Amino acid sequence: MVLSVDLRAIEQSLPTGMRCIVPVAHDKDTLLLPQQLSDFASMLTSQDFTGKEGQQYIFNDGKTYLVFVGIGEQGKLLPRHVQRPLGNAVRAHLHKGSELAVLAAHIATGDAYTSYLTELVLSSVLATYSFTKYKSKKNEAKEQTKQILLFLEKPTKEYTATVARALEIAKSIAWTRDIVNEPSNATPPQYLAYLLKSDEKNAPFHVEIFDGKKIQEMGMQLVWAVGKGSSEDPHFAKVTYMGNPANKKFVALVGKGVNFDTGGVQVKPDTYMNTMKGDMGGAALVMGVMHALARLGAEVNVIAYLPFVENSVDGGAFKPDDVYTAFNGKTVEIKHTDAEGRLILADALAYASLEKPTEILDFATLTGAVTVALGPKYAAVMGTNQEAMEKLHMLGEEVGEHVWQLPLEDDYRKFMNSDIADIANVSEKRVAGTIMGGIFLKEFVDASIPWVHMDIAGVATTSKGDGIHSDFATGYGVRLMVEYLTRK
């Protein structure tokens, strides 16, 4: 995967001996090419190349290798329109032993151009990601391409910072993808917690880790209940990043870190269990955000609360009908051992609430139902922080990580009533599964703290790579949350 981006000026004599990707927008019938390539316009037009999103035309005279990629109409150009065409062009033309270059026209000015550059870097870098750790035969083109040469019409100093920021975000997304792609036998709870500890060496954040014994002592019975059926001890990590130490206020991020979800004793049937190595997608998202904030030196204060468990089955596993007391003192009747994510989040949310953050956001691969409701492109958001949900929606449209709000309907709370405890972990009515998850979590957040829950079960992974995505982990949400936290 690409690890560095080198900024250069496009010269009259075009780069040779490398594959050059040239994104081309259009303004009505005019193709917006880098000035230095304007001679190609009539040839492209004669080949019916209009700059429409996804169109490709290859020019190769043995010396110069240019891949013209249509990215659509300039006026409607949102960064996310660049992702698929550029990502696919990079994937298709990465070539072993050949350098990769992107040649960009100066199609906008000011912030619009900065965000265009950000998109070019993120899309082309992420398209070179692959997870081949366990393959004897590697994807050599992706593996060997460590650098992109980004040629601009007018490279100025100012753009160096933009490119560096985009590259750090891309690397953090790749880090998150790696965590999710790893099989569960490589990522027990303890390993995930200590992965943050080893990241601490290179990052200005502080990591505290609680093991299973400490988790019990602290009164996080729900985390303990879910984790105790596994031979791998549950762990809890608290990551403190104070990028603005003059201010004591901070945002809390909570993530579901189930390194594998068998369903517990109500075991998942047949292949429904497959892909459950990705059930720590929420925690991995938060880890990627912390990784990025630290490397960007972002002037924000954020504390992450991450419960890590394996939902497995042995004689000590928690069972349906069991009752446990959450960190905030509420009792929970287990009605389904496969609704484990909300249990570990409940303790983490209650613990985070006690520390009085200005707002709390949690991320979880919580329900299969979210894919039924919103499909593979939209994460669901719900909660009490309307302003945050609107900002997330707006940013999501921009960066291509979409969110859609679902209602937290108070009337549905009664479906979670338990005969013997304060609340049950699943609804007696099998309707609105994603909302029920949110309604359960709400009980464990201090009502005075604005809160958002994001269900990413549909978007954290994909069955088939496309554009900037490779197979399985997408790294969804890292970029969205970095923008959310750093853009006021």
Residues annotated catalytic, as ranges: 268, 342
Stretch that binds ligand BES, among 167-175, 210-218, 335-343, 393-401 (CB under 6 A): 335-343
Tell me if residue 52 falls in helix, strand or coil. Answer: coil
Cβ partners under 8 Å of residue 223, min gap 6: 215, 234, 236, 307, 309, 343, 344, 347, 348
How is 276-297 classified by DSSP, letter by letter?
A: GGGTTHHHHHHHHHHHHHHHHT
Residue with CB nearest ligand BES?
A: 368
Least distance (Å) between residue 336 CB and ligand BES: 4
Counting DSSP H helices and E strands in the chain, the numbers are 14, 21
Q: If binding is defined by CB under 5 A, does position 341 make contact with Zn ion?
A: yes
Residue type (1 letter), 170: A
Name the helix (H) or strand (E) containing 210. Answer: strand 206-210
Number of residues that bind ligand BES (CB under 6 A): 15
By the rule CB under 5 A, 338 interacts with Zn ion: yes
| 242 C-beta neighbours (distance < 10 Å), count | 17
For ligand BES, the closer of residues 279 and 310 by Cβ is 279
Output 103 or 424, the one with its CB closest to ligand BES.
424
- When CB distances are held under 5 to 8 angstroms depending on the partner's kind, the choice from ligand BES, Zn ion, none that residue 178 binds is none
Could you count the other beta carbons within 10 Å of the beta carbon of residue 208? Answer: 13
- Residue with smaller CB distance to ligand BES, 1 or 180: 180
Judge whether 2 and 102 are in contact, CB under 8 Å.
no
Residue 243 interacting with Zn ion (CB under 5 A): no
261 makes contact with Zn ion (CB under 5 A): yes
CB of 233 to ligand BES, least distance (A): 20
Spatial distance between the Cα atoms of 379 and 454, rounded to a whole number of angstroms = 7
Residue 483 interaction partner, one of Zn ion, ligand BES, none, beta carbon < 5-8 Å per kind: none
* Under rule CB under 5 A, residue 229 binds Zn ion: no
Smallest gap from Cβ 258 to Zn ion, in A, equals 5
Instruction: List binders of Zn ion among 277-296 (CB under 5 A).
Output: 279
Q: How far apart are CA 453 and CA 385, in angstroms?
A: 10
Residues 365 and 460 sit within 8 Å (Cβ to Cβ): yes
Among 119, 168, 340, 347, binds ligand BES (CB under 6 A): 340
Q: Of 369, 403, 424, 473, which lies in the binding site for ligand BES, with binding defined by CB under 6 A?
A: 369
Q: Which stretch binds ligand BES (CB under 6 A): 103-111, 187-195, 331-339, 387-395?
A: 331-339
Least Å distance, CB 219 to Zn ion, is 23
Looking at residue 244, its amino acid is: N
Taking the C-alpha atoms of residue 268 and residue 258, their distance in angstroms, rounded to an integer, is: 15
Nearer to ligand BES by Cβ, of 332 and 366: the residue is: 366
As a whole number of Å, the CA-based R_g of the chain is: 24
Q: Which stretch binds Zn ion (CB under 5 A): 24-32, 74-82, 106-114, 256-264?
A: 256-264
Residue whose CB is less far from ligand BES, 91 or 342:
342
Q: How many residues bind Zn ion (CB under 5 A)?
A: 6
Shortest Å distance, C-beta 131 to ligand BES:
18
From 50-58, 141-149, 247-255, 366-374, give the range in contact with ligand BES by CB under 6 A: 366-374
Single residue of 72, 255, 288, 341 touching ligand BES by CB under 6 A:
341
Question: CB under 8 Å to 367, separation ≥6 — which residues?
Answer: 433, 434, 436, 437, 455, 457
Picking from 387, 180, 152, 144, the residue whose alpha carbon sits closest to that of residue 285 is: 180
Minimum CB distance to ligand BES, residue 439 (Å): 12
Q: 164-169: list long-range contacts, CB under 8 Å, 24+ apart.
A: 165/118, 165/296, 166/5, 166/117, 166/118, 166/119, 166/121, 166/122, 166/125, 167/4, 167/5, 167/121, 167/125, 168/292, 168/295, 168/296, 169/122, 169/292, 169/296, 169/478, 169/479, 169/482
Candidates 408, 416, 426, 478: give the one binding ligand BES (CB under 6 A): 426
Q: Write out the residues near ligand BES by the rule CB under 6 A.
A: 261, 279, 336, 338-341, 365-369, 426, 433, 457
Q: Write out the residues near Zn ion by the rule CB under 5 A.
A: 258, 261, 279, 338, 340-341
